[in-house]
Amino acid sequence: MVEQDIIRMVNEVFNESFEIPEDKLVPGANIFNDLGLDSLDIVDLVVALQKKFAVTIRDDERVRTIRTLGDIHNFIQLIKKENKK
Partner 1 sequence: MIRFLKLAYLNFTFYLFFILFSSAAVTSCGVGIVLSALVLSRRRVLRLLRRVICWYGTVIIRILPFPLVRIRYTNYASGEDQGPFIFVCNHRSSSDPFLMAGPCRPYECIQVVNVWPFRLPVLGLVAKIAGYLSVREMPFEDFLKTTSKLLAEGVSVIVFPEGTRSRDNSVGQFHSAIFRVALQTQRPIVPLCITGNERIPPVGSGILEPGIIKINRLKAVPWETYRTFTPFKLKNFVRGMIIQEVAAMEKAL
Judged by the rule CB under 8 A, the positions of this chain that interact with partner 1 are: 17-19, 32-33, 36-41, 44
Least distance from C-beta 34 to partner 1, angstroms? 9
Cβ distance to partner 1 smaller for residue 37 or 66: 37
Q: What is the largest CA-CA distance in the chain?
A: 35
Least distance from C-beta 62 to partner 1, angstroms? 22
Name the CA dihedral angle for 85, 12, 68, 83, rounded to a multiple of 10 degrees: -10
Nearest to 7 by CA among 84, 67, 74: 74
Least distance from C-beta 45 to partner 1, angstroms? 9
